[in-house]
Amino acid sequence: MQITAEALCQLLNGTLEGDARAVVDSVAKIEEGHSHSLSFLANPKYEEFLYTTESGIVLVSKDFKPSKPVRTTLVRVDDPYVAFTAILSEYVAQINNKSGIEEPSFIGENSEVGEGIYLGAFAYIGKNCRIGKNVKIYPNCVIGDNVEIGDNTILYPNVTVYLHCKIGANCILHSGVVVGSDGFGFAPQTDGSYAKIPQTGNVVIEDEVEIGANTCLDRATMGSTIVRKGAKLDNLVQIAHNVEVGENTVIAGATAVAGSTKLGKNMVVGGQVGIAGHIQLADGTKIAAQSGILSTIKEPGKNMMGSPAFEFKQYFKSQAVFRNLPELDKRVHDLQQELDALKVAMNENK
């Protein structure tokens, strides 16, 4: 990406201060910039770097007032963080603007790939697949039979999609994601062994979902495991069979959701959370990191914390008591000694 300050200003509907001909071709943090990099200032804590930065152009808010002379070119916008995010998106899109079919790769019979496909070396597409336009499938990906992938979706290296699964448009699956592996289903036998329960369903990922590296989504025993539109899953997340993740719900790393649980819309789930199976969590539920959710949450918008989890306010009250337990224990011990001494004194006075 290469753009002048004047063009950037027009693109972002901003106001220019400085050299309109300044050119940038990369992005950088304000404290690490160079003459051809674009940076931004949104947090006042970083203002000191504005006066020493080498970045060629810096995005600032329209109402920002510098306290010292500024050497770099400024582009004033409504929200520098939002504007910089938009530029980053365009920058990444250009970096990832790959197309064509590399060799060796394989496309199975009766499979269709759309215009603008990128298929990296050693990638495999099975039979009867439907791959949309401008899809990017990086090297060493494996796509099973009868898989559907929507337009503009990206599968980074080493993603595996098992047979019959469906992935929507504008999705991003990072390296090592596994879609459609068998759910953890085993029936205990009378001799103490376990018989495998065949997992005959699939995984359905709707549009605009992003899934982090090495996350696993198990296929349903019957029916579908579903990730609704706009959901975001971090690295190392486990989604078990027949789970449903609600629209625009975000789940941080190392979280595990057990089988047949339904997560509502617009939930926020912290890292290392464990969610039990066969329960339902209401829309807008927020769960703090390392919490354990063992039962259904019916009321929308609850803030939960702890293991087993309960509401934030009650949790912090309980934590205050917990921190004082050693002192409380000592006081109880002292009271017990005093009580024992009184009993002895009373018996002597009889």
pLDDT tens by residue, 65-124:
999 999 999 999 999 999 999 888 888 877 778 899 999 999 999 999 999 999 999 999
303's tokens: 């803030």
pLDDT tens-place string over residues 136-166: 999 999 999 999 999 999 999 999 999 999 9
CATH level 3 topology of 3-95: 3.40.1390
Let me know how long the chain is. Answer: 350
pLDDT at 44 (0 to 100) = 93
What's the pTM value of the predicted model, to 2 decimals? 0.85
- Cα gap 345→252, rounded to integer Å: 62
Given a cut of 90, is residue 266 above it in pLDDT? yes
Residue 135 Rama label (left phi>0; alpha psi -120 to 50; beta)? beta
Average pLDDT over residues 276-299: 97
pLDDT score for 310: 79
Taking a C-beta distance cutoff of 8 angstroms, is the pair 250, 269 a contact?
yes
pLDDT band at 342 (very low <50, low <70, confident <90, very high): confident
Checking if the pLDDT of 305 tops 90, the result is yes
- Going by the DSSP 8-state scheme, the letter that residue 297 receives in this structure is B
Architecture of domain 100-313: 3 Solenoid (2.160)
Q: Is the pLDDT reported for residue 346 higher than 90?
A: no
- Tens digits of residue pLDDT in 19-31: 999 999 999 999 9
Q: Report the C-alpha gap between 5 and 134 in whole angstroms.
A: 30
Q: At what angle do helices 5-12 and 80-95 cross, to 10 degrees?
A: 110
The pLDDT-based confidence of 323 (bands split at 50, 70, 90) is confident
Is the torsion defined by CA of 251, 253, 256, 260 positive or negative?
Answer: positive
pLDDT single digits (tens) 306-315: 998 878 788 8
Percent of the chain with pLDDT over 70: 100
With a cut of 80, say whether residue 350 has pLDDT above it: no
- Tokens coding 232: 């975001």
Read off the pLDDT of each residue in 186-202 and give the average, rounded to a whole number: 97
So what's the pLDDT on residue 21? Answer: 94
3-state secondary structure of 341: helix
- Nearest partner of 116 among 105, 101, 129, judged by Cα: 101
Instruction: Give mean pLDDT, residues 292-299.
Output: 96
Q: What is the DSSP string of 222-262?
A: SSEEEE-TT-EE-TT-EE-TT-EEPTT-EE-TT-EE-TT-E
Separation of alpha carbons 159 and 322, rounded Å: 45
Question: 341 has which bridge partners?
Answer: none
| pLDDT for 348 | 79
**The pair of three-digit structure tokens given for residue 113, joined into one six-digit string:** 């790939």
- Of all residues in the chain, the percent with pLDDT exceeding 90 is 84
Known catalytic residues? 241
Amino acid (one-letter) located at 341? A
